[in-house]
Copies of this chain bind each other. A is one copy, B any other.
Amino acid sequence: MLSKVVARTSARTGLRVSVRSLSASPEVEEAAAPGGAHAQLPYTTPLREMNFVLNEVHNAPEHYKKLGFEDCTPDFLDAINGECARFAQERLAPLYSSGDAEGCKYMPNTDVRTPKGYKEAYEEFSEGGWNGLTVPEEYGGQGMPLSMGVMKSEIIGTANWAWSMYPGLSMGAMNTLILHASDEQKETYLTKLASGQWSGTMCLTEPHCGTDLGQVSTRAEDNGDGSFNVTGTKVYISGGEHDLAENIVHIVLARLPGAPAGTKGISLFLVPKYVPNVEGELDENILGGPKNVTCVGIEDKMGIKSSATSVMGFENSKGWLIGEANDGLEQMFTFMNTARLGTAMQGVCHMERAYQGALPWAMDRASMRSLSGKKYPDDVADKIIVHPDVRKNLLTIKALCEGGRSMIYDAALKADGMINEDKAVRDKCEEELGLHTPTMKAFLTELGCDAAQLGMQVYGGAGFIKDYGMEQIYRDAKISTLYEGTTGVQALDLLGRKIVLDKGVELRKQVQLQISEAFEIGTSQTARNHGLTGHALEIGKLSAQWATTAMRIVAGAASNRDIVGTASTDYLMFSGYISCGYQWLKMMNAAGKALDANPDMEESDRAFYQSKLDTGNFYFNRLLPKAYTHRDMSLKNPDSIMDLKLEGWDLATTLPSDSGDAYAGYKAE
């Protein structure tokens, strides 16, 4: 089916964007003009790196062939990603700093204006067919596998994360509709979302609850005509209001009258900003009339300032039930899983940006002399890339970024079954992914923040100044550890749900796979040629400990349930370092194999593979050992976390004891 799309457009890329010429629009040029807000950070999509991970590490073409996507050859993937990269580099990256400086504006008539150039970029993106890349062809999409959407997200997200959230949330809405909406709903809404004519949101959080969705109080009342009236307030709605698209389709969690309390009484509704007419279109009367949903305001945030984080007011807003009543949270899981994968990717996006931002500075700034003697003897000082601490900062970012990318691509290929119409395929896919999603989300976003701060650190004081651009990465990155479930929430999901409740079934499978693969790599000629045996041993050992540590925690939790909580974040980070190490072993193996297979390769190729081996050695030498600390912490006695009495928290700092109302209603057992 893919071949049709390819034939329809360019033979080279299969996407319509390929045939459009990319002359810079006046809007982009104006917004990104020098003398405008701030200097530009460089951004080049690491296509070679992506190809290496896809083809040489994860054998993606083989995987796609199995799924029936025979055309997804390495050349094809490179061409698609290359087109996306061209768009991202030429259209989105130039708006990165200017969009941050300008931010979104809340306008009269509850409109929201996005920064200069955003609308034009969105239109071009839509015209190129990128919104519908992974949507079935019958709804106007390109019908490509989900994993290719993940790469698209990486490319546009690294270029400009805040901009990429608009199509990102549309994707969430589309995936939800693909799986759970009626054919009629799909016909009306999915096609418009796939073309980008309309955009979408996910409305979960309310002022009093985010993580604890059982507290959702937005109500929906049956109008008796198939429609419902939805009333309530939703907060932190990304892309809740903006000027990029003609209409906005909100997917809303709400409660029907008489629904069971808690999470079992939540239903899913489709509530459009403007309600289309019977033909499913918006005429001028509708567009000129009142909105069905209004934006009450937008948040002033630390970062991702050009993403409109909206407070949405629903007041008898007309909506339609998606799927079965009271099945809302269950239906939301697919979105949540893909959203967590996308947020994990955000960590990698910020790592890549931080690396690309910091490296040129390290190669250009001259300060002090190398400890082991002058390296630039004719200059007044050495470039700071010679200093061990600067190298360590850069290598840390590099090793986490490349390892993180490999983790995500591995998961993304697994996730290709996630949007399958067959529930059995989806369930199997969710089982396989379940273990990895919370780990990747929390581990990679926490380390994305670390990478952003290490990137600033390379700049010294200049890292703190807006003109140099590094501080924006730091500000943008932080949201990733907070939304889509905080790090603490992911950790509980991993240990409580994906391991304790699962009785470790998936964990044990993954451990078995890793030990087996480590054995194979560790005993190979490649390992002997490139010194990988020690690393393979380490991964084998840690994989076993991954299971035994869980065993010990689960055993302890039988007598003290709090142990799951006191152990969870460290256990998650432990899992993350192991998983990333497993990916590094695979990458080093692939690099070693390539070097061995072709001793006459070009110098630049040799340097590429050698850099992989060097960076991998750094990971095993300097980053993987952190796994042991987290393991030890996860096994510590829980008492030092649970002992402190309620009155002990604030006395030490003489906070007024009425600083919260925690004392009211507390009944310790």
Q: Which residues of A contact B (CB under 8 A)?
A: 38, 42, 44-49, 205, 208-212, 214-215, 236, 299-303, 352, 355-356, 359-364, 366-368, 370-373, 375-381, 383, 385, 387-395, 398, 402, 449, 453, 456-457, 459-461, 463-467, 471, 474-475, 478-479, 481-483, 486-488, 491-492, 496, 560-562, 564-566, 568-569, 604, 607-608, 610-612, 614-615, 617-618, 620-622, 625-626, 628-629, 632-633, 636-656, 659-662, 665-669
Given A641-B622, A644-B391, are A483 and B466 neighbors across the interface (CB < 8 Å)?
no
Q: Top 6 A-B pairs ranked by shortest CB distance? A: A363-B660, A388-B565, A363-B662, A389-B488, A611-B648, A302-B471
Q: What is the minimal beta-carbon distance from A556 to any residue of chain B, in angstroms?
A: 13
Whose C-beta in chain B lies nearest to the C-beta of A472? B302
Whose C-beta in chain B lies nearest to the C-beta of A487? B457
Whose C-beta in chain B lies nearest to the C-beta of A367? B212
* B contact residues around A626 at 8 Å (CB): 629
* B contact residues around A561 at 8 Å (CB): 371-373
Are A474 and B565 within 8 A (Cβ)?
no
Most chain B beta carbons < 10 A, residue from A363, A373, A560: A363
Whose C-beta in chain B lies nearest to the C-beta of A569? B389
A367 to B38, CA, bound (A): 41
Q: Which of B388, B461, B475, B621 contacts A482 (CB 8 A)?
A: B461
* B contact residues around A641 at 8 Å (CB): 388, 391-392, 395, 618, 622
Whose C-beta in chain B lies nearest to the C-beta of A352? B653
Whose C-beta in chain B lies nearest to the C-beta of A665? B376
Q: What is the minimal beta-carbon distance from A217 to any residue of chain B, in angstroms?
A: 10
| 11 additional A-B residue pairs with CB within 8 Å, beyond A300-B467, A388-B642, A389-B487 | A210-B460, A302-B474, A359-B655, A361-B660, A377-B665, A394-B649, A449-B453, A457-B482, A620-B640, A622-B640, A625-B633
Whose C-beta in chain B lies nearest to the C-beta of A463? B482
Given A464-B301, A654-B44, A662-B385, are A622 and B643 neighbors across the interface (CB < 8 Å)?
no
* B contact residues around A655 at 8 Å (CB): 42, 44, 356, 359-360
Are B637 and A565 within 8 A (Cβ)?
no
Are B654 and A565 within 8 A (Cβ)?
no
Are A644 and B395 within 8 A (Cβ)?
yes
Given A461-B236, A491-B389, A621-B640, are A562 and B372 neighbors across the interface (CB < 8 Å)?
yes
Are B388 and A638 within 8 A (Cβ)?
yes
Q: What is the minimal beta-carbon distance from A669 to any residue of chain B, in angstroms?
A: 6
Are B615 and A652 within 8 A (Cβ)?
yes
Are A478 and B487 within 8 A (Cβ)?
no
* B contact residues around A618 at 8 Å (CB): 640-641, 644
Are B622 and A652 within 8 A (Cβ)?
no
Are A566 and B363 within 8 A (Cβ)?
no
List, sorted by A's number, 14 A–B pairs whose CB atoms are closer than 8 Å: A301-B471, A355-B653, A359-B659, A360-B659, A360-B660, A371-B562, A387-B488, A388-B638, A459-B482, A614-B644, A614-B648, A615-B644, A617-B640, A621-B640
Are A300 and B611 within 8 A (Cβ)?
no
* B contact residues around A640 at 8 Å (CB): 395, 614, 617-618, 620-622
Q: What is the minimal beta-carbon distance from A613 to any residue of chain B, in angstroms?
A: 9
Whose C-beta in chain B lies nearest to the C-beta of A668? B375
Are B211 and A364 within 8 A (Cβ)?
no
* B contact residues around A393 at 8 Å (CB): 488
A646 to B386, CA, bound (A): 9
Q: Which of B44, B368, B389, B622 contacts A633 (CB 8 A)?
A: B622
* B contact residues around A667 at 8 Å (CB): 375-377
Whose C-beta in chain B lies nearest to the C-beta of A566? B388
A484 to B128, CA, bound (A): 50
Q: Which of B211, B371, B474, B617 contacts A460 (CB 8 A)?
A: B211
Are A383 and B651 within 8 A (Cβ)?
no
* B contact residues around A654 at 8 Å (CB): 44-49
* B contact residues around A566 at 8 Å (CB): 388, 392
Whose C-beta in chain B lies nearest to the C-beta of A618? B640
* B contact residues around A612 at 8 Å (CB): 652
Given A205-B461, A463-B482, A645-B610, are A372 and B474 neighbors across the interface (CB < 8 Å)?
no
